[in-house]
Every structure is written in structure tokens, then in C-alpha cells.
Structure 1
Amino acid sequence: MPMHEDQLDITTDQVRALLKEQAPAWAHGPIAALPTSGTVNSIFRVGKDHTARFPLRPDRPAVVAARLERDVAAMIEFSQASPFPAPIPVLRGRPGHRFPLPWSLQTWLPGEVATPRSHEASDQFAADLATLIVALRSQDTKGRTFTGTGRGGALTDHDEWVQLCIERSEGLLDTRAMSRLWNRFRELPRRGPDVMSHTDLIPANLLVVRDRLAGVLDTGDFQAADPALDLVSVWHLLDAPRRAILRAYVGSDDLEWERGRAWAFQQAAGLVWYYEKTNPTMADLGRTTLCRLFTEES
């Protein structure tokens, strides 16, 4: 079952045809669709060293091309800022062979994808995650501030979305608890300037090897945002003792910590009802994160 009603599909034969036409050096090795929980792109492994990413949702080609151009710049900047490996952009592909949108090729990173509970009790993983957040925050914003409508600006901008999520979650989650949390979260004031942020530190975007963070994926949205935004990771990935380790390392005060909880709630609130049948991995992330947020509140 597709995750989105308007989802675009692409086959390995189409991927190979696009590569033969636009990147022939990488067209003759194995090509395999990757079974990921990603919600934005179809991802294919190309040979041993690359991945190709194809947008899942329709859009105007010019809009996608402009977004890919911004992504490439952000990915390069992130790779230079991060103490952990990140993919490097290799190619921006053109539409063709019945795929209507631009696409991208980037380097492959080794490691296993983290899950909401795989490393929740790891002191070392918590310390690595804290190291990443602090390193990103230390980068120069070059005068940039948050722009757009996604997570990272004003919490109250998300009232309509969160209310929809609460309504759609009836029978799936404790919607009264959700309403109580959001009514408090949305009133949290904002202090401090924007900092550089990955903006989507969910388990699917973190690679691990044994007990260590080994790589960071989906870095194309690296931008200036609310300093609390990357704290979503602690609610997506860590148990209470490990959250305390990360908080001590990062140095978050009470307000920043609560705003991190608020952003994690805003993200998790939409995962269960939207992906319950089409993407169980994302739905499970929503449940796990909300459970941690509810438990912390009690």
C-alpha cells in the first residue's frame, strides 16, 4: 500500500536507464531498491558506493530542481560541520524514462539504521548524539534565520496541524493527553537566536555501528532554526537516564528542554494516524515518542 495517495513509483529498470543516460559510469553495477521507512524519497543503492533518491510526491520539476540545488549546498555545508560522516552529493539528475522529476545521486554510508529503542540505553550513543548537536550549533549561521513553514520557527504556527492530528488520532492514542500537552507546549516562549540545525534527527536519519553513531543522513535541510529543534532526537531515541546525559552535555535550560519536547510532540502527533497502515515503522516511532512524552509529564 502506498504511503501517499499521489505517490510516484519508479522501478530498477527506470533507474538503470536514467543512469545509463545521465551517469553512465555508475550504470552497470547492481541496483537495488532499499526497504526504508523514508516518507520523502524512494531510495536505490547503486553499486557499493552510491545511492539514488527519487521524490515520492508529485511537484513541478522546476520546484524540485530548485530544492535539490538548495539540498546540495546544505549537504556540503553539513558534511563540513559534522563530526560524523554524512553523504556527499554526486549528481543532480534530470527527469526521463517516465519519471517526471529531477532526482539525485549521493555517496553511500555504511552502518545500520537506528530504531526508537535500539540504543535508548546506550551512554555512548547519547554522548555521540550530544556531540553532534553541539557541533552543529557551533557553526556560523552567516546571518541566516529560520524561514518556511516547517518545524523550527514559532510553535503556534502549527496549531491547525496539531489539532487535525489530535482529531484523527481518536481511537488510536490518548487524545485528551495530547490536547493537554499541546495547550501547554504552544505557550512556551522563545529565547535566544537561531542556530544551525539538522532539523530532522529521527532514528531513520541516524546510522549506527555497534554502540556508536556512525553517520547522519538526510542532511539537505541543514539550516538555521530554533536551538531546541534538534532536541527532538532525545525523545525519539533515548530513555530517561540517557536523556539526562545528553541534556547535561548540551547544557539546555528548562525552557529550551521543554521546547525540544514540544517539537518532538509536533512531529510525533502526525505519525500514527497518517502511517498506521502504510508505514508501520513511522507509526511505531510516533507511539514510542508520545509514550516517552506522556511518561515524562506524569
Structure 2
Amino acid sequence: MSNTTHLGPVPQRITVDAEQVRRLVADQFPQWAGLPVRPVADGGWDNWTFHLGSEMSVRLPSAAEYALAVDKEHRWLPELAPRLPLPISTPLGKGEPGAGYPFSWSIYQWLDGEPAIADRIADPVQFAVDLAGFLAALQSVDTADGPRPGKHNWFRGGTLRTYDGEARRALATLDGHVDVDLAREIWKSALDARWDGVESWFHGDVAQGNLLLDDGKLAAVIDFGTCGVGDPSCDLAVAWTLLTADGRQAFRERLSVGEATWARGRGWVLWKTLVTCAHTVDKPTRRPRAHSASSAKSLPSTRPVAAPQRRWQRARRPVEASGRRLVLDVPRLEEALRLVARRHSGLRIYLLPDDCSGYPSSTASSTTAPP
């Protein structure tokens, strides 16, 4: 892929309400016209999501760029589903523009579960192994004719150099708040880590909101809007955003990840972290608005919270934002990052060593972010 890929402007998102969804369903799927429609809490960024009865959901892209994934999902998710060890959301019907809504949209089966927030995971190591097993199965699926990186998934599976401009702008913004020289060196190492060119399937947005738990165990994986075929290192970001140190090691071993791939995965999470932090500095109470939606879609809320600090969490230069503290500490180049993001009360970010034996307490109190 070219190093000069242009991500384009930020997508212009539109709003959708429940009444509009009712009209769409009634007009195009009359067999489900009588089912109640209500918004899904935290329904996502790329799509507006609504419950349709108790066993289905309606997903409507929030911008033209996100609508590019609809045909891909209908083409590939039914083929991927039987080859994977956990349930994934699969489409039941494809809708067309109507009722004032301009894009294609989908009806999906509803998968029960709760988001994989760290303190709800029963066994962090087993969770990491199960997640790695799912990704290994996904990577083993035949890639023939699969969707290569492009605008449909914001170039996930392609080169990290696509995001170099965003990363550099974020570093410029954060100069004086974090050790930008060290962050630049980590970023350069990720850019220089060569991919062997062996393509595989990837999810593209392995994050806590897309991983569902049942009784504390990984039960399903949802939202394949950024899936594709290419370099799967983007799926490794979860190693730093959700897994414990022991879980991260088990995750890496289960996937047999080499140094170069691990470095690229570290680059993915560094890019997201830098963009999040930069927008927290610029606009501390607003969701990050990146140069493109490539970074916005997977980022947590940017309302920081104060959190109790252990010795290894103490920031040399903490970022202050609206009276809340975003704790940043980058102690070593050779050991990457730890990103603990989006608890129910807001954003908590720590950049920590890869081999850190401590882990933020799942029951630690924190200051609640403003509504």
C-alpha cells in the first residue's frame, strides 16, 4: 500500500431516531413491523444501533463512509461465522435508503452479553487465551477474494504509515506533556517493523465494546465493520488496552506473535493513545475529532478521571484537563505501552512497561467524570 494514502476529511455523521427506524422496518420488512424499536445504549460510532424486539437489532451507518462496510458484512459474515469458535453477529436482512435515511442498513440477530470491561472478566488469562484462539481461527480462514484494506475499514490491515501524519500532529500537541522523544522512537520502531506480506483475516476493532461476556467469560465477538484481509497486527492492540500482563503473555504465545508483528501491534495502540491524549489536551470534554474518522471510531470517551496511583503509575508530567488528571508515564522504549481505557466513569490511560507485574485494581475508586 502506498505511504501517501489519503484518509480524507472527517465523515459528516447524521442522526437517526426510533420513529425513522420504525418506518424503515415497516416499509421494507413488514413481517417485523409490529416489533418495538428502542435505541441501544452506547450503540457505537460508525452505526446507530436499535433493538428490534428482543432478538434482533437494526444497524444504520452514521455517515456515507461507514456505509461502505454494509455490503462487505452481508457478503462475508455468513461465511466467517461457521468457521469461528465463538458466535459473531450475522445479518438477517439488508435494507435500502428510505424514510429520509440515505444509506443501506442492516438487521442483525441480537447477541446477549455485556461488554468485556476488565473488572467483569472472571479469569483474565483464560480470557486472553480464548480471545487469541478466536483470532487464530479468524486468521486461518481462506483469504481468497477477501476485502483488502481501503476506505471501507479506514485502511486497517495496511501500513501504519497511513497514520503517520496523525501521529506526528498528536506528538506536536503533546510536546511538554509527555516524553515525546521516547514516543517518537517507539512509533519509528513500529513503522520500521516489516510485515512479511502473508495476508490473513483480521477483525480490525478488537475492543472491549466488541467483546461480549457471559458470566465473566468471552462469549461472542461483534462489529466486523473494519474487518478485512491484510496485516493482522491491528488486532493486537487489545493486548495493551484490555489484557493483564499475564494475559498479554498468554495471548502472544497462543498466537505465536514474532517481534516485528508485536512491534506493529504496539504501534497501533500508540497511535490511538496519542490521538486520544492530544484531543484531551486540546478539547478536554469532547470526543476526539481526528483528521479522519480512522482514529475516532475506536477511541473511548475523552472525559478523563482521576485515579489512585501506584508507584509505577506516577506521571512525570501528567496532563491536566478540566480538573481531572490523565495519567501518562512512558518509562521504557524496549517495553511498550499499557492503555487502560474507558471504564464506566470515563477514560483511564496509563502508558506502562510491557512486563509490569502490577495491574490497576478492578475495584479502585475513581472520580466520576462530568455528565
If the TM-score is normalised by the length of the shorter chain, which range does it land in? 0.7 to 0.9
Alignment of 1:129-208 (within 5 A): 129-142=131-144, 146-148=148-150, 150-169=155-174, 175-208=180-213
Letter in 2 for 1:235: W
Matched, 1:99 2:101: yes
2:313 aligns with none
Higher Cα radius of gyration: 2
Q: Which structure features the higher share of helix residues?
A: 1
Partner-residue secondary structure (3-state), 2:58: strand
Question: Structure 1 CA distance, aligned partners of 2:78 and 2:176?
Answer: 44
Match of 2:29 among 5, 10, 23: 23
Alpha carbons 1:72, 1:220 under 8 Å: kept: no
Unaligned runs of 5+ in 1: none
The CA distance in 1 between the partners of 2:109 and 2:97, in whole Å, is 20
Q: Residues 236-247 of structure 1: matches in 2 within 5 Å?
A: 236-247=241-252
Aligned mates of 1:173, 1:57 — CA distance in 2: 34
- Please name the residue that 1:45 is paired with: 51
Does 172-181 or 132-141 show the bigger shift? 172-181
Residue 11 of structure 1 deviates from its aligned partner by 1.1
Distance 1:73 1:258, change over 3 A: same
- Residue matched to 1:228: 233
CA gap 1:174/1:81 in 2 versus in 1, 3 angstroms:
farther
Which consecutive unaligned segments of at least 5 residues does structure 2 have?
1-9, 288-298, 305-337, 342-347, 357-371
For the pair 1:250 / 2:302, whether they are aligned, the reply is no
- Alpha carbons 1:51, 1:105 under 8 Å: kept: yes
1:260 aligns with 2:265: yes
Question: Is the CA contact 1:168–1:273 (under 8 Å) kept in the aligned structure 2?
Answer: yes
- Tell whether 2:60 aligns with 1:54: yes
Task: Give the match for residue 88 of structure 2.
Answer: 86
Whether contact under 8 Å (1:75, 1:222) holds in the other structure is: no
TM-score with structure 1 length normalisation?
Answer: 0.85
Secondary structure of 1:29's aligned partner: coil
SS at match of 1:151: coil
Q: For residue 116 of structure 1, report the CA deviation from its aligned partner.
A: 5.3
1:172–1:273 contact (8 Å) kept in structure 2: no
Is the CA contact 2:129–2:254 (under 8 Å) kept in the aligned structure 1?
yes
Q: Is 1:269 equivalent to 2:274 in the alignment?
A: yes
Q: Give the deviation of 1:223 after TM superposition.
A: 2.0
Cα shift readout 1:241-292 (whole Å, capped 9, x = no counterpart): 1101111211112222222211222233333445853459444799526956
Out of 2, 14, 20, the residue aligned to residue 20 of structure 2 is: 14
More displaced stretch, 175-184 vs 247-256: 175-184
Q: Tell whether 2:133 aligns with 1:128.
A: no
Q: For residues 99 and 186 of structure 1, what CA distance do their matches in structure 2 show?
A: 40
In 1, Cα distance between equivalents of 2:37 and 2:277:
32
Give the equivalent residue in structure 1 for 2:354. Answer: 296
Q: Which amino acid counterpart does residue 45 of structure 1 have in structure 2?
A: H
Structure 1 residue aligned with 2:38, among 29, 32, 35? Answer: 32
3-state SS of 1:186 partner: helix
SS of the residue 2:75 aligns to: helix
Deviates more, 1:270-279 or 1:215-224: 270-279
- Deviation of 1:92 after TM superposition, in Å, equals 1.5
Q: Deviations over 1:130-162 (max 9, x none)?
A: 110111111111265843252322222321121
Deviations 1:157-215 (A, max 9, x none): 32112112333456776545432321222121222501111121111111111231111
Contact 1:139 1:195 survives alignment (8 Å) = yes
SS, match of residue 340 in structure 2: helix
- The answer on whether the counterparts of 1:31 and 1:46 sit within 8 Å (CA) in structure 2 is yes
TM-score by length of 2: 0.69
RMSD over equivalenced CA pairs, Å: 3.0
**Which whole-Å CA distance do the structure 2 matches of 1:185 and 1:282 have between them?**
26
Q: Contact (CA 8 Å) 2:123, 2:216: kept in 1 or not?
A: no
Residue 353 of structure 2 aligns to a residue whose secondary structure is: helix
Query: Residue type of the partner of 1:52?
Result: V
Equivalent AA in structure 2 for residue 277 of structure 1 = T
| Contact 1:109-1:215 within 8 A present in 2 as well | yes
The aligned amino acid for 2:149 is: T
The offset of 1:9, in angstroms, is 1.0
Q: Which residue of 2 aligns with 1:68?
A: 70
Aligned partners of 2:302 and 2:94: how far apart in 1?
31
Distance 1:120 1:163 in 2: 38
8 Å contact kept, 1:42–1:54? yes
Q: What percentage of residue pairs aligned between the two structures are identical? A: 26
Greater RCO, CA 8 A, separation 6+: 1
